[in-house]
Amino acid sequence: MNEKPTIYFTSITLVATLGGLLFGYDTAVISGAEKSINNYLVQGLGLNSWIHGATVSSALVGCIIGGAVSGIFASQIGRKKLLMIAALLFFISALGSGHPEFLFFEKGKATLGLLYMFNFYRIIGGIGVGMASALVPMYIGEIAPAELRGRLVSLNQFAIVFGMLVVYFVNWGIINDQSLEWVNAIGWRRMFLSEAIPAGLFGLLLFLVPKSPRYLALNNNDEKALSILTKINGKNEANKILKEIKGTIEHHSGKLFSYGKLVILVGVLLSVFQQFVGINVALYYAPRIFESMGAAKDASMLQTIVMGLINVIFTVIAILTVDRWGRKPLLMVGSIGMAIGMFAIAALSYSEIIGISTLAFIILYTASFMMSWGPVCWVLISEIYPNKIRGRAVAIAVMAQWGANYFISSTYPAMMEFSGAATYSFYGIMSVLSFLFVWKLVPETKNRSLEEMEELWITQKSK
């Protein structure tokens, strides 16, 4: 492969991964604002911890919707146009979440209507996240050469954790040296409004990227598909890839279960386990967790930044190793590390031991996730599905993921009120089960083309 195609598809990938950055930004921005939102819109109305959990997690309702509509529209209007719509939704959500009183409500006065409106804007942003979470890895997977696909799709996870790290710095910069009263009145609004900047940039840059060549081929636009494939892979390889794509279109009906139920089940369980191990509890509630360990407000945000740096470092490890070691070994090693971390945190919580040891095991847990289940789950979801069902199958997996995410995130405050040790033990058990699932059911996709994966499922179905 010559240098020019490498520059071409790397540039396309970097633009697409801005969707991942916004995914991470929108996911983690609530971590700095959740206490102020709780004071203003939950406790201010005399509501309980279940409403608090539901409000913090309300964007996830939109994520489920966004994942669902991505399956409906990805094959109709294309990956690129749907990503443009996602960028617009991110932008609207950023402005609306920062000023939910806009037009209809009095600023500073908590009402049930205002609580509903805040949740509405967060759901709008969640729809954008749901779309981006399905479409970005799908788009990159359909653009990238097989030998680099794992690394390039993993860049999406890097963008997600980098977006989280960026917003941790933004949140810390907003509250640094400010009074609690100012943060509760103004600071949390600026956190949400800051997302409008990367959302606008993403929307503009999407005009510069091409449509997915596999989407074009599926819609009989072979000439344009071949042109893009040639720029990425070179002329000889491009003709071979296009022939393989057209072969999958001609020989298979494209009904959802035409390749068997196992391929759908594997994608769904990958998504569910990625959330049931409890990662988003650490992401959404990180400052509160560190405050419960005795850290002051500013210190808790700084510790969250440290955790964000750990996330970035170990995601880079995954990017460098996923095409060398394979997907299954990384997932299994990650499951072991997460189980050790969570069971240790559960034991420390039961013994009421709070200190540096707790922080160390939180770092072990998050590092294990970020080098394995964080990026590799998205890599596999972009790889395992045959061309004809990819849009719908990815949507089902993403819907399952966000549904599991919502369940875990919204139940965390109430579970912690019941028992911290039991809560963290549950996540540890899920980590063990995730290891067994990967060992028994997940296929290795390293160095296989998307069309070769299709043959694997056809063979599996015939057994």
- Whether the Cβ atoms of residue 87 and residue 202 lie closer than 8 Å to each other: yes
> Average of pLDDT values for 16-35?
85
Mean pLDDT for the stretch of residues 147-153: 76
Rounded CA separation 294/357 (Å): 13
Instruction: Give which of 165, 170, 156 is closest to 94, Cα–Cα.
Output: 170
**How many Å apart are CA 264 and CA 200, to the nearest integer?**
35
Phi first, then psi, for residue 354 (nearest 5°) are -125, 125
How sure is the predictor about 176, in pLDDT bands with cuts at 50, 70 and 90? confident
More confident residue, 263 or 96: 96
144-153, 183-192, 256-265, 380-389 — most confident range: 183-192
Q: Residue 282 pLDDT more than 60?
A: yes
Higher pLDDT, 127 or 32: 127
Q: How confident is the model at residue 257 (pLDDT cuts 50, 70, 90)?
A: confident
Alpha-carbon distances, residue 141 vs 135, 144, 406, 449 (angstroms) = 10, 5, 26, 10
In tens, the pLDDT along 415-424 reads: 877 887 888 8
pLDDT band at 200 (very low <50, low <70, confident <90, very high): very high
Domains in the chain with CATH codes: 3-209+252-462 (1.20.1250.20)
Percent of the chain with pLDDT over 70: 88
Q: Which is higher by pLDDT, 35 or 195? A: 195
Mean pLDDT, to the nearest integer, of 127-140?
87
Q: What pLDDT is attached to residue 4?
A: 43
Structure tokens at 29: 């921005």
What value does the mean pLDDT of the chain take?
81
Report pLDDT digits (tens) over 30-80. 877 888 888 888 777 777 777 877 787 788 889 889 888 887 787 778 888
Share of the chain above pLDDT 90, in %: 20
Classify each residue of 273-298 as buried b or exposed e, where b means 16 or more C-beta atoms within 10 Å of its C-beta. bbbbbbbbbbbbbbbbbbbebebebe
State the pLDDT at residue 286.
56
pLDDT exceeds 60 at position 198: yes
Residue 256: burial class (beta carbons within 10 Å; 0-12, 13-18, 19+): middle
pLDDT of the residue at 202: 94
Please determine, for residue 463, whether its predicted confidence score (pLDDT) is greater than 80: no
| Alpha carbon distance 295, 388 (integer Å) | 52
Average pLDDT over residues 187-196: 92
Distances (CA, A) of 383 to 96, 353, 454, 456: 36, 43, 10, 12
Give pLDDT, residue 285. Answer: 53
Span 357-406, pLDDT tens digits = 777 888 889 889 988 998 888 888 878 887 777 778 888 888 888 888 87
C-beta of residue 73 within 8 angstroms of C-beta of residue 82: yes
**Model pTM?**
0.76
